[in-house]
Structure 1
């Protein structure tokens, strides 16, 4: 009964979720996401199919975004990691692929002490941003994509 196919896309250093700086990013890894999506979507969970991709390489992330377009993905939940704050190339890709995208951050980047982390190059090319809720940020982004499609 899948209605929506979403890509969960993670950038650099996010392959170590649950282990990397747990005081900032929490102790849960991607394996917690299906449970969290079920918590948010409830009985509608079976309407969503999630694909996962993580890379430390900017080019591989761009290739995967272009592939998501070719596959007809209904949306992307994108935690670009540090590339959020530095990558014009990812912003350019999001500007043309025409796939709804929600920017995700585990921490509240606006509350971080480094001013650079408060700037997002990809933000102007996404339908929304979810930040500061740990792994639940991903589940909330999935919910936002479902709601986005139901408004159409």
Structure 2
């Protein structure tokens, strides 16, 4: 069975998923993702090789995106955190690397009406889709969507 390398890429302040503001982002951590995928995908989970990367700096995220292209990564589930709403540099990188990417958010960014800036995405136009509001399950849904996209 062919394994598809999927990069789980997390931006600033996402190194503590499960601990940081659990009332907004939930209590499950990235360590739980493998089990969640196995339960939700069954045997299909065996066709995925997950790689995790988190950085607080914009440049490190761009460097990792460019490396994903060079390494032949099949797809990226990318939670860019606040950079989603502010980084033209990340949006530009996603536009040229030609690796399928799903934009991921733990919270529903469109429900964050107290912070209208969080309701926009600069990177979304270069992604195959956006999944938001399902906590850590958002990543599992993104991986499933990437696998479906890759398999077509």
Give the TM-score range, shorter chain. over 0.9
SS of corresponding position for 2:52: strand
SS of corresponding position for 2:82: helix
Deviation, structure 1 residue 41: 1.2
Q: Hey, what's the Cα distance between the residues in 1 that align with 2:40 and 2:82?
A: 27
Q: Hey, what's the Cα distance between the residues in 2 that align with 1:2 and 1:108?
A: 34
Structure-2 residue corresponding to 1:106: 106
Deviations 1:16-65 (A, max 9, x none): 11111000000111001001111221111110000000000000000000
Q: Within 5 Å, which residues of 2 pair with 1:11-22?
A: 11-22=11-22
Normalised by the size of structure 2, how large is the TM-score? 0.97
Q: Is the 8 A contact 1:101 1:128 kept in 2?
A: yes
Give the count of matched residue pairs: 151
Q: Hey, what's the Cα distance between the residues in 1 that align with 2:44 and 2:75?
A: 17
Structure-2 residue corresponding to 1:115: 116
Normalised by the size of structure 1, how large is the TM-score? 0.97
Structure-1 residue corresponding to 2:58: 58
Deviations 1:85-125 (A, max 9, x none): 00000000000000000000000000002100000000000
Deviation, structure 1 residue 142: 0.3
Unaligned runs of 5+ in 2: none
Structure-2 residue corresponding to 1:139: 140
Structure-2 residue corresponding to 1:67: 67
Q: Hey, what's the Cα distance between the residues in 1 that align with 2:77 and 2:2?
A: 17
Q: Hey, what's the Cα distance between the residues in 2 that align with 1:147 and 1:39?
A: 17
Report the aligned-residue RMSD. 0.7
